[in-house]
Amino acid sequence: MNIKRILNGNGKKTDSADLQSVPTLSPQSDQNKTHPKTMKKISLTLILLFFTITNSSAQKKETCIIKTSLGDITVELYPKKAPITVANFLKYVDTHLYDNTSFFRSVTLNNQQKDSIKIEVIQGGEVDSTKIYAAIPLERTSKTGILHKDGVISMARDTPDSATCSFFICINDQPSLDFGGKRNKDGQGFAAFGKVTKGMEVVKKIQLLAPVNDQYFKPEVLILSITREY
């Protein structure tokens, strides 16, 4: 801002004699300089604040509680790494479409005689076909970096880009479900998007319900609700 004139207390322009009485601050005045140590502290504080905010944003997570008839399962979702898949899952959560669905399938080492590549998962979340949202693009593990480790939650699918509502949870590490894995002939893997942080004992209880010669069991384990944890 350029100040073109100096006004006195009455709003009138001062003359040259009056200018001598106007107090000024020199560049070296204590009122107009900040101590170097203070500047360093301020700079350090701002840097730390920036990295704290950046780190917090990069690690943003969503947590959901899957309430079942056998107990609760807590899952941590990773929207920064798998935004499409997480948004799709939360759409079903927020509209309560997972309420009163079930875990209906358990794949164990003993009940997949026709598969040369064996896995261990439980599957659930099959929604009324009239209420299913459009299928989503496949977020491959080669892009997200979320591998199918013990407790990881992932989307069930047939062909690539066909996942809708049904999901599964891994028991033990399942690398054959990652991109390039041989469980699916197309080699594209499945879209992992979170991990169980509490309740793996419930997951394992469900796994034990599978009969020796079948992956589908009755009665199914009711999913009472899936809700966000705030």
Per-residue model confidence (pLDDT) at position 40:
56
Q: Which residue is it, tokens 């066909």?
A: 162
Distance of alpha carbon 192 from alpha carbon 201, whole angstroms: 20
**pLDDT for res 113:** 87
**For 80-138, how does the pLDDT look when each residue is reduced to its tens digit (9 = 90+)?**
999 999 999 999 999 999 999 999 999 999 999 889 999 999 999 999 999 999 999 99
Instruction: List, for residues 149-184, the tens digit of each pLDDT value.
Output: 999 999 999 999 999 999 999 999 999 999 999 999
pTM (2 d.p.): 0.75
Instruction: Assign 33 a pLDDT band (cuts: 50, 70, 90).
Output: low
168-206 core/surface letters (b: 16 or more CB in 10 A; e: else)? bbbbeebebbbbebebbeeebbbbbbbbbeebbebbeeb
Do residues 172 and 107 lie in contact, with contact meaning Cβ atoms separated by under 8 Å?
Answer: no
Q: How far apart are the first and last CA of the chain?
A: 48
In percent, the amount of the chain with pLDDT more than 90 equals: 70
pLDDT value of residue 90: 98
Average of per-residue pLDDT across 20-44: 49
Query: How far out from the chain centre does Cα 119 lie?
Result: 25
pLDDT value, residue 27:
41
Please give the structure tokens belonging to residue 39: 């500047």
Contact present, 78 and 86 (Cβ < 8 Å):
yes
